[in-house]
Chain A
Amino acid sequence: MSSAVMDKPVAAVTAPKRLRWLRILAWLVLLVVLLALPLYLDASWLKAGEYAMVGAVGAIGLTLLVGQAGQLSLAHAFFLLAGGTAYCVLAGPTKDERVLGFGLDPLLSLVLAVAFTALLGLAFAPVSGRLRGIYLGVASLSLVFLGLYFGQSASTLTGGTSTGREPAAFELFGFPFDNTGPRIEILGVPFRQAEKSWYLFLALTIIALVLAWGAVKGRIGRSWRAVRDNEASAAVMGVNVARAKAGAFAISSAYAGLAGVMTVLWYDILKPDESEYGTYGINVSIAYLAMVIIGGLGSVGGALVGALIVNGLPQVLALYSTQAGLFTQSGEGAFTPVLVSIFIYGAAIILVVLFEPGGLAAIGRRITGFSRKNPGKEGPR
């Protein structure tokens, strides 16, 4: 990866200045609103939002891999489990006789857990470099089953399926993100676990987002797209194909690892699955793929919206319908919020594939008119 042949001016520069400002402004307003939300929303809604953020981090990682680098992966759930387990082991208390723990600082553990999953992703390079398309998808699926087995058998690390293990509460330079520590009130709102973790999750999501934008706009992103579109021509242009592929898989895994750490912090427990269907099962891998497809393959912003639909919508619908007394029937054939949200996200995938294969991102680009001025910047494969 040494050539600068592809270093054409990037879209943001060519786009009209006003539009660019508008765009930045829109993101800033969104940020301010998100920062203010804990003052207004109840803990349950915050919890739902945090779950969408977990999904967003994982989905950004997957959209880089599937959309930008063109490698199909169904292993996301495995890396979620690996990241969560690594965090629990590294930050866990040292004197617990049932499970292994190193008692490291939670922040350091988080960083190391992400690094660990990146290495795991890199270790998969011999497979991910040789296979493509559905073959890679199926090969990566094997990792999910490996994860299922590992979660059950390595009970000194994972806590086992019977009871699981509690993750160490996250702390930043001595500031705890749970209900311990001094009582904090801002504008009369008591800041407890849900409010504090909202800011933690928001910060992690923003870091993930900014890094992904940097990668997409920079040289790495260009090499990924070159490999995705045509390996031979990418190689001719001086891209090291094997390295670009391995790098994409490692980075995507690191994102999944971070999402895994967020998952165990969100649940307050690491509990390996008892069957293929669970928190780290094949269903989760598919949910992440759905986020990416709904959002538009390769679009980082689209992944955020996809995560909001797939992870956030069922939660919000369940909360709203309980509050409003909707869908209260029970029994065979009853319409419950969980069922309704499954229908919605299923329908979203079908509609996207049928009418707008570029996903919500393509719709967004069409509305803002960016696509005419910047064809193929983040476009579908």
Chain B
Amino acid sequence: MRRLSLALCAVLAVGACSTKAGDSGSSGSDASGVKTDVGVTSSEIVLGVMTDMSGPFKNLSIGITHGNQLWVNDINAAGGVCGRKLRLEVVDHGYKADTAKTLYPQLEPKILGMVQLVGSPITAALKGNIQADKVTTTPASWSSELLDNPYIMVVGTTYDVEMIDGMAYLQEQGMVKDGDTVGHIYIDGEYGANGLRGSRYYAQKHNLQLKEVKITSTDTDLTNIVTGLRGQGVKSIMLTTTPSQTGSVMAANKALGLNVPVLGNNPTYDPVLLKSPAANALDKLYVVASSVPYSADIPKEQQVAAKYKAAGFPEPPNAGTPYGYAVAEVWGTVLKKACDNKDLTRDGVLAALQQTTSADTGDLVAALDFSKPGAPATRQVYVAQADASVEGGVKYVKPLFEAPDAKDYQAPHQK
């Protein structure tokens, strides 16, 4: 019993001296009258990156992170924003929602906002925290379902709008007409469900018979599904799948003699497919996207590619890099606006974001308008086709455009 009371005394004694009390961040305004709170000092603005450097999406995620970093280097070389240098605070969650959930409270007090948040399960788990802590965040996901949270900033066209624009393109080219039967193969989850929302909308508008096929992200051989769609007499197939699944569909499309045009969301295509067995079957694939692939034939992207080479990163480049650069550039626009408003607080960033009506990334991503909460920031897409002869593996068959149906489309959280 004595020992117990001794131990208790010891614990109480320790308890009395130093708890973690009183370490909340300081806030106020600096000499030039710019208000600041979290993640901003008189010399520095810190932005967070929660990425996957060790899990299944590390290639793309590292590409995006390098893109972010290239932009930070550029802006710092040009003097920074608001007289402050920018710095990235990068953490790796390995695509594990539990790790991300633990790392977030450690990262959050250090940053003004997040330029990158990879992973749909992770974004879902952190969505509430982001809103409660007012951390403006760019997820590496383009689902319009995320837009009910005002602090989520989706850079690019959402999957549903991509689909609508893409189907409008197929119809404009005469590959699909009103009343046709079309198929849509989609992965169950945030990504696929959002793509499907778009195709359902378009099908309903144009009286198309939509044959929906739900798969999981781990399915590899889709031959039987394509066979089934052939039996139903589809005139075209929509895809919201992984690149390897796209390869399987394209190979089956050719091998079964179906040979219909196939339309895919941005993430369905990866230039790696050009080295896969399906390489010769990709001629019917049309990809819709609002951001450009690596080495695209756009002056700005050529610059980014040159910078990437000069920076000497060990990893081979991919489409993540121009996207990461473009996202960071949009962040630059928002931060400059917040600085002009003399408010670099988290509230100030949100206010500046909602005033941003034409963020320009030199065509890396279509021009963005964040002023309408709940609505996608852009409804424009490129249409591209696989082409092994071009560096980057993609050629553009239609420049940025917005279909009338996409314009009228009501996104799920649009007011």
Contact = CB atoms under 8 A, between A and B. Distances in A.
B187 interface: yes
Contact of A162 (B53, B145, B218, B313): B145
B189 A161 contact: yes
Interface stretch (B121-129, B229-237, B283-291): B121-129
Contacts, number: 157
A337 B120 CA distance: 21
A45 B52 CA distance: 21
B397 interface: no
Given A162-B145, A266-B101, A275 B217 contact: yes
Most buried by B among A274, A311, A315, A322: A274
Contact size class for B? 35 or more
A107 interface: no
B8 interface: yes
Nearest to A329: B53
B97 A189 contact: no
Contacts of B96: 314, 338
A334 B103 contact: no
Nearest to A316: B102
B276 to A, nearest CB: 20
A83 to B, nearest CB: 17
Contact of B53 (A152, A188, A277, A331): A331
A268 B125 contact: yes
Most buried by A among B8, B105, B128: B105
Interface string B77-113: 0000000000000111110111101111111000000
A316 B71 CA distance: 32
Interface string B23-58: 010000000000000000000000000000111001
B11 A32 contact: yes
B11 to A, nearest CB: 5
A164 B99 contact: no
Interface in A327-344: 328, 330-332, 334, 336-339
Contacts of B92: 318, 330, 336-338
Nearest to B315: A331
Secondary structure call for the B interface? helix
B21 A319 contact: no
Interface string A69-108: 0000000000000000000000000000000000000000
B4 interface: yes
B100 to A, nearest CB: 9
Nearest to B196: A162
Nearest to A335: B54
B102 A319 contact: yes
A334 B54 contact: yes
A315 B102 contact: yes
A315 B216 CA distance: 28
B7 A32 contact: yes
Contacts of B21: 39, 185, 187-190
A188 B62 contact: no
A275 B218 contact: yes
A179 B131 CA distance: 13
7 contacts: A28-B4, A29-B11, A51-B101, A315-B98, A330-B315, A336-B94, A338-B99
What 3 A-B pairs are tightest by C-beta distance, nearest first? A188-B21, A338-B94, A274-B189
